Amino acid sequence: MAVHETSGRHTGFHLPSRRRAGTAQRSGETATDTTATATFTRVFAGLRIVTGFVFLWAFLDKTFGLGYATASGKSWIDGGSPTQGFLSGVAVGPMQSTFRSWAGAGWANWLFMLGLLAVGVALVSGIALRLAAVAGTALMAFMWIAEWPPAKYLADGSPSMSSNPLIDYHVLYAVVLIALAVAGAGVTWGLGRTWASLPVVRDHSWLR
């Protein structure tokens, strides 16, 4: 009986190699992850710019009296006080008398306005987000205490109109500021990368 050796070449249907399938799957996952990361960074960049404009607009309106929160003729450059109206109206909370004593003070006006400007510029440009988060959170904390959401009634007994005893827009802004700093959201659509490359910023990471 004769034995015939078969050729080394095979024809017909072949199942895909597990190694190749696994590689293709990993490649697909990597592409998906990259797309998700890109979307994530753009969303945070947009959130950063929008939030920065909130602070920057507040500064501009109070400085020049653009007719929204600050009427024309009552702006800072016209001799008005950016803190007088808000702080003098504090009517509840543990720091009620303290805030009223600060109302209209020159140092309070400058500190408040410089805080708005610094946080707004930092967020819009994407630089010094950690400093912006600290300054902005401190500003929001003072404003939260001034409004004191836990109180149901003001000092004169009238309803405070507070809708939530803990979480209000001041807390939300503070959380957003911290999240933007942690996420390093200044690189996309911002000057974060250029800022981080400066020697003084490289040597002091808290400036990022």
pTM of the model: 0.83
Percent of the chain beyond pLDDT 90? 82
Q: What is the DSSP string of the chain?
A: ----PPPS---S--PPPHHHHHHHHHHHHHHHHHHHHHHHHHHHHHHHHHHHHHHHHHHHHHHHT-SSSS-TT-STTTT--TTHHHHHT--SSTTHHHHHHHTT-HHHHHHHHHHHHHHHHHHHHT--HHHHHHHHHHHHHHHHHHH-TT-SB-TTSSB---S-SS--HHHHHHHHHHHHHHHTTTSTTSSHHHHHTSHHHHH-GGG-
45-96: per-residue pLDDT in tens?
999 999 999 999 999 999 999 999 999 999 999 999 999 999 999 999 999 9
145-181: per-residue pLDDT in tens?
999 999 999 999 999 999 999 999 999 999 999 999 9
